[in-house]
Chain A
Amino acid sequence: MKIGVFVCHCGSNIEATVDTAAVAAAAREFPGVVFATDTMYTCSEPGQDEIVDAIKEHNLGGVVVASCTPRMHEQTFRRTVERAGLNKYLFEMANIREHVSWIGKDREANTNKSVDLVRMATEKLLRNRALHPKKFTINKRVLIIGGGVAGIQAALDCADGGLEVVMVEKTSTIGGKMAKLDKTFPTVDCSSCILGPRMVDVAQHPNITLYAYSEIEEIKGYVGNFEIKVKKKATYVDWKNCTGCGICMEKCPSKKATDTFNEEIGKTTAINIPFPQAIPKKAKIDPAFCTMLKKGKCGICAKVCPSGCIDYEMKDEFITEKVGAIVTATGFDLFDWTVYGEYGGGRYPDVITSLQYERMLSASGPTGGHIKRPSDGKEPKNVVFIQCVGSRDKSVGRPYCTGFCCMYTAKQAILTKDHLPQSQSYVFYMDIRATGKLYDEFTRRAMEEYDTNYIRGRVSMIYPKGDKLLVRGADTLMGTQVEVDADLVVLAVGAESSAGASELAEKLRISYDSYGFYMEGHPKLKPVETNTAGVYLAGACQGPKDIPSSVGQGSAAAAKVLGLFSKDQLESDPQVSIVDIKRCIGCGKCIQTCPFGAIKEIDFRGMVKADVIETICQGCGICTSTCPQGAVQLQHATDNQILSEVNALCQF
C-alpha cells in the first residue's frame, strides 16, 4: 500500500509545540509511506483538496492525517478520501493535538511523540481493508422521554412532521416544572396560558401516544430499531374510563398525602389529580397514604366513582414499543438546600424554595394565589430572596451557575410587589447574570420600577426573632453588615440533574458529566446529539436551561430526528465482527459474551459454527478478546491491527 501522510499545523495549535515538518520528514522513512507533508489547516477546503490531489498524483492507497482527535474530524477526512475514490476505511488519524500539543510545551518531546503516533497509524493502516456498509430499514417512530416543555416541543414538532411519537412521562401529568410556574420572565406572561394549550395538543394529536406515570424499564437495539420496555406504574384507577371528575378526591378521607405538584405547600388526598389542567386528567392513588391499600379498610373512592374505575388490585404493566430514535428530555431537579445550616436547614417554616413560592403565586395553587407565610398564614411585608443557593458553591459540590435563578428571582420580586403593593423585597446576590434577549432590562425593572433592594453579598445567618426571621448578611459593595427583619425568605435553589438520570443514561448508553447532566456529542457542533447514534437530548437534562433554550433544543432534537428519518434506509457501520469459519471450533463462548445477542449458532456442513448478524453487532470486540481461537475478529480493530500498533510503539 502506498501511504500519504499529512501533518497539520492547526494554525499554531499544533505547530507551536510540535515541529510538524520534522514529523513529516520522519514519516517519509516509514514502510509504505511515499508522500508526507505538513499543512496549515488540513480540514480546510485547500487542505482537503491537497489530500485529494496527492491521492491522485501519487496513486495513494491509504492516508494518515496527524492532527486533532478523530472524534473531531475522522468523518471529515473519511469523506475526503472517499471523494478521491478511496474506501473510507483506508484512512487513519494520529491525534497530535489533544494528546500532544495541548498537554505540554516541550517541543522536542512533543515532536518525538508525534512521530511515534504517526508510525503507529501507518502500521495500522498497512493492515486496513476496505469495508462496505450494509443498508437496513428503519422504524420511523420516535420515543420522547420526559414530558416537560422541552419534551412537549420535540413531540409536537415530530408529530407535526408526520412521525408517530411515543411519550413516556414519569409523573401522572406532563408539563414538567413549567406547569408549576405562575408567570414567566422576561415577559411576565402566564405560564399555564402558554403551556396549557401545548399540553392539550399532545393529548389530542393523532400521532402521539402518551404513557404518563410510566418509566423506561429497558432499552434494546440500536439506531433505527430500538425496542423499549415501558413500565406503566399501577395507578389503581382504570384510566380508560376515568373522566377526571374528581369526586373521589372530594370524598377521600385520607387528606394528608404528599403534594409533590404543589411542592408540599399543603397536602393532598391519597387519590388525586395533581392539578385541574393536568394532562392526562386522570386520578391515581398514592399507595403510601391509601388506607384501603395499606390496611384493607375504607374503599370509599370505589363506592363514589361514577365510572367504576377504582381497582385496588391493579399491578404494574409492561408494554413494548418499537422506535427508530429517542429524544431524552428528562429535565432537572432542585438542589436539596437543607444542607445549608446557616439558612436553618429546614427548621424554619417561613424559609421556602423558589418553586414553592411559584406555587404560592399561582392563582390555581394551594393558596389561590395569595402570598401567605406557611407558619401563620399572614401576609408578609418584608420578603428576602437569596440567590445562588446550591449554585456557584464548591463547598456543596455545585460549582456551576444554574443560569436562570437571577432571572426568576427578579420575576418573583416584581410579582411580589404586584400582589402586595405595601411589601418590600430584598435580594441578596453574588452577580446578576442576565444575558438573554431583554433579560438585563428585566432585572433593571425589578430594581428601578419595583423598588427591589438588591444587596450584593451573601447571607451568613438566618435566625428567628419573635415571629420574624432575622437575615444577617454582608453588603460587599458598601463594605458593611446588613440585617433585615424578614417575614418570608425565598431561596433561589439551583438546578441539579433529575433523580435517576444516571440510571437512565446507562439504559440509553449515553455519557453524563460528574453532576449527572447528559453529555452532548460535541460542546459546540453537536449540541443535541449524543455519542450513541439515534439518541438525542432536549432541555435541562443536558444542563440547566431556561424555557426559551429548552424549547429551542426540543425543536432542534426534532429536526435531527426528522432528518434521520428522511431516508428509508440507514447504512450500518461495517466495523463489525466476522467469523473465520475455518478457525471457529463452535465452542459458543462468543455467543455467551456478546452483550447484544449478535452472534448465532449456525450449521456449517454438519458442524456447529458461530455467525455474526451484521446489523445487530455494535462493534465492541468483546467476542474477539473472548474467542480462544482468534476466529472472530472485529474488523478495523483486529488482533493483527492492534498488535501492529503495539509493535510500532515498542520495537525500540
Chain B
Amino acid sequence: MPVLEGKELRIVGFLCNWCSYGGADTAGVGRFNQPTDLRIIKVPCSGRIDPLFVVKALMNGADGVLVSGCHPRDCHYAEGNFYARRRLEIMHKFLPILGYEPGRFEYTWVSASEGQRWQQVVTSFTEQIHKLGPAPKIVGPEASDTLSLMQAAL
C-alpha cells in the first residue's frame, strides 16, 4: 500500500533502541498525537547507522529521513552517537550534491523519557517535509551508478 495520496509523504526514521525508540514508545504511552507519515526502523545504536541507509532511503523514494539517538554522552554503547554525529554531519553537505534539499534529512537526540519532545520532533520534521513537498525521484539505470559512486565516496 502506498502512502495516503495527498495526505502523507514518505518519511523514514532510524531510531536507536535504547533512547529514541523508547522515547517514541513513551510518546505512545502518553497518547501524544503525531502525524502518521513517519515509519520507524529500529537500530541498536545511532552509531550503527550507515549514511548509505539515508541515501538509499531517499533514492528509493523517501521524502524525508529522520535519525534520532541518545543525547551526547548518554549513549548506551558509550560513544556510538559521537560516531553517528560525525558521519551524519557530512550528510547535510552531501545531499545537495545529489540534488536533495538538506532539510530532507535531520538528526536529533531524544531520550527514553522524552515522550513530549519526540512528539515535537516528529511534528516539526513532518511539517518541514510537507513544506518541501515530494522529493525528486531518481529512477532508471543512473540510480545504481549514483549509489555506487556514493558508496565509494563515503
In chain B between 1 and 52, which residues have their CB closer than 8 angstroms to a CB of chain A? 1-4, 7-8, 10, 12, 18-19, 21-22, 24-25, 27-29, 31-36, 39-45, 47-50, 52
Contact B48 A531 (CB under 8 A): no
**A417 adjacent to chain B (CB < 8 Å):** no
- Closest CB of chain A to B58's CB: distance in Å? 8
B12 smallest CB distance to A (angstroms): 6
The one of B4, B39, B61, B113 that contacts A651, using a Cβ cutoff of 8 Å: B61
Report A70-112 CB contacts with B as 1/0, cut-off 8 Å: 1100000000000000000000000101111011111011101
Are B4 and A622 in contact, with the CB atoms below 8 A?
no
Residues of A within 8 A of B7 (CB): 109
A513/B44 in contact, CB under 8 A? no
Q: Is A415 an interface residue (CB 8 A)?
A: no
Contacting pair A646 B56 (CB below 8 A)? yes
From 610 to 652 in chain A, residues with beta carbon under 8 angstroms from any chain B beta carbon are 618-622, 624-626, 634, 637, 639, 642-643, 645-647, 649-652
Stretch at the interface among A114-122, A186-194, A363-371: A114-122
Bitwise interface map of A from 382 to 423 toward B, beta carbon under 8 Å scored 1, else 0: 000000000000000000000000000000000000000000
The residue of chain A having its C-beta at the shortest distance from the C-beta of B35 within the complex is A104
Contact-residue bracket for chain A: 35 or more
The answer, among B2, B49, B52, for a CB contact under 8 Å with A652, is B2
Q: Which of B33, B48, B74 contacts A103 (CB 8 A)?
A: B33
B124 at the interface (CB under 8 A from A): no
Q: Which residues of chain B are within 8 angstroms of A97 by Cβ–Cβ distance?
A: 28
| B28 engages A98 (CB within 8 Å) | yes
Residue of A103, A105, A514, A532 with most chain B CB atoms under a 10 A cut-off = A103
CB within 8 Å of B: which A486-505 residues: 502, 505
B112 at the binding interface (Cβ < 8 Å): yes
Residue of B nearest to A97 (CB): B28
Q: Contacts A511-B19, A652-B3 known; A621 to B29 CB distance under 8 Å? A: no
Contact B12 A650 (CB under 8 A): yes
CB of A69 within 8 Å of the partner chain: yes
Contact of B47 (CB < 8 Å), options: A102, A104, A110, A621:
A621
The residues of B that contact A115 with a CB separation of less than 8 Å are 1
Q: A102-B28, A112-B3 are in contact. Are A642 and B43 (CB under 8 A)?
A: yes
**Once bound together, how far apart are the Cα atoms of A34 and B80, in whole Å?**
39
> Are B1's CB and A116's CB within 8 A?
yes
Asked if A646 and B12 sit within 8 Å, CB to CB, the answer is yes
| Neighbouring B residues of A596 by C-beta, 8 Å | 77-78
Interface centre among A26, A104, A645, A649 (most CB of B within 10 A): A649
Expressed in whole angstroms, the Cα–Cα distance for A652 and B52 within the complex equals: 19
Within A170-207, which residues are at the interface with B (CB < 8 Å)?
none
B112's nearest neighbour on chain A, judged by CB, is: A511
What CA separation (Å) do A117 and B1 show in the bound complex?
A: 11
A595 within 8 A of B: yes
User: What 0/1 readout, one digit per residue, does chain B (106-138) give for beta carbons within 8 Å of chain A?
Assistant: 000001111000010000000000000000000
Q: Is A103 in contact with B28, judged by CB distance below 8 angstroms? A: yes
With A71-B25, A652-B61 in contact, is A621–B1 under 8 Å at CB?
no
Residues of B within 8 A of A135 (CB): none
CB B45 to nearest CB in A, in angstroms, measures: 4
Given A595-B79, A647-B60, A99:B28 Cβ within 8 A: yes
The answer to whether B93 has its CB under 8 Å from any CB of chain A is no
B78-116 residues at the A interface, CB under 8 angstroms: 78-80, 83, 87, 111-114
* Chain B residues positioned under 8 Å from A112 (CB to CB): 1, 3-4, 36
Of B43, B73, B74, which one neighbours A511 at CB under 8 angstroms?
Answer: B74
Closest chain B CB from A388 CB (angstroms): 23
- Which B residue sits closest to A220, measured CB to CB? B78
A649–B13 Cα gap in the complex (Å)?
11
Task: Tell whether A95 pairs with B40 under 8 Å between CB atoms, given A69-B28, A116-B1, A625-B48.
Answer: yes
The reply to whether B53 and A650 form a contact with Cβ atoms under 8 Å apart is: no
B58's closest neighbor in chain A, by CB? A650
A509 at interface, CB cutoff 8 A: yes
Min Cβ gap A637→B in Å is: 6
Does A649 lie within 8 Å of B47, measured CB to CB?
Answer: no
- Which residues from chain A contact B52 at a C-beta distance below 8 Å? 639
Min distance, Cβ B74 to any Cβ of chain A, angstroms: 6
Q: Does B57 contact A (CB under 8 A)?
A: yes
Contact with B along A143-170 (1 / 0, CB 8 A): 0000000000000000000000000000
Residues of A within 8 A of B43 (CB): 621, 637, 642
Question: Which of B27, B29, B62, B119 interacts with A649 by CB under 8 Å?
Answer: B62
B42 to chain A: which residues have CB within 8 Å? 70
Query: Nearest residue in A to B118 (C-beta to C-beta)?
Result: A103
Q: A513-B113, A652-B3 are in contact. Are A619 and B44 (CB under 8 A)?
A: yes
Is there a chain B Cβ closer than 8 Å to A519's Cβ?
Answer: yes
Q: Tell me which of A95, A103, A105, A651 contacts B60 (CB under 8 A).
A: A651
A174 to B89, CA, bound (A): 47
The answer to whether B50 touches A71, judged by C-beta atoms less than 8 angstroms apart, is no
Q: Which A residues lie within 8 Å of B29 (CB)? A: 98, 102
Do B28 and A593 touch across chains, with their CB atoms under 8 A apart?
no
Contacts of B119 in A (CB 8 A): 103
Q: Are A642 and B41 in contact (CB under 8 A)?
A: yes
A432 to B1, CA, bound (A): 55
Contact A99 B24 (CB under 8 A): yes
Known: A95-B40, A621-B45, A647-B60. 11 other contacts (CB 8 A): A71-B22, A102-B29, A104-B34, A519-B113, A624-B50, A634-B48, A639-B50, A642-B43, A645-B41, A646-B57, A649-B62
Interface residues in chain B, defined as those with a beta carbon under 8 Å from any beta carbon in chain A: 1-4, 7-8, 10, 12, 18-19, 21-22, 24-25, 27-29, 31-36, 39-45, 47-50, 52-53, 56-57, 60-62, 73-80, 83, 87, 111-114, 119
10 A-B contact pairs sorted by A residue (CB < 8 Å): A71-B25, A103-B33, A103-B34, A116-B1, A512-B113, A513-B111, A622-B45, A624-B50, A643-B53, A651-B61
| Residues of A participating in the B interface, judged by any CB pair closer than 8 Å | 26, 69-71, 95, 97-100, 102-106, 108-110, 112-113, 115-117, 120, 502, 505-506, 509, 511-514, 519, 531-532, 575, 593, 595-596, 618-622, 624-626, 634, 637, 639, 642-643, 645-647, 649-652
